Amino acid sequence: MNADMGGTEILTPLLDIVNVERHMKDYLRHVILITDGEVSNTAEVIKTISFMKKNNISTTHTVGIGNGVSFDLIRRGAIEGGG
């Protein structure tokens, strides 16, 4: 992973976790989502986090850092992800 100080892209890494899970059954997984910015696709990210929880792929814990964080993503992500 690389930090390029560009936009906050969270959905792609979450989808990678979903795809890896298909090959790694019976592992308890906790995802810690740390963000310092807004995302343009909050609804899609929340939907993916919810899918991951409902399908026993992972529990998602959310952490927001700084003033520019998406509070909606942090709050709803924690609720939907069970973290």
Comparing CA positions, the residue from 52, 53, 42, 51 lying closest to residue 76 is 42
- Helix (H) / strand (E) containing 33: strand 30-35
Q: What pLDDT, on a 0 to 100 scale, did the predictor assign at position 36?
A: 87
Of 77 and 23, the one with more pLDDT: 77
Q: Is the pTM of this model over 0.85?
A: no
Q: What pLDDT, on a 0 to 100 scale, did the predictor assign at position 4?
A: 58
Whether the per-residue pLDDT at 24 is higher than 80: the answer is: no
The DSSP code for 82 is B
Residues 6+ apart with CB under 8 A from 44: 11
What would the pLDDT profile of 33-65 be if each residue is shown by its tens digit?
Answer: 999 888 889 999 999 999 999 988 899 999 999
Q: What pLDDT, on a 0 to 100 scale, did the predictor assign at position 18?
A: 84
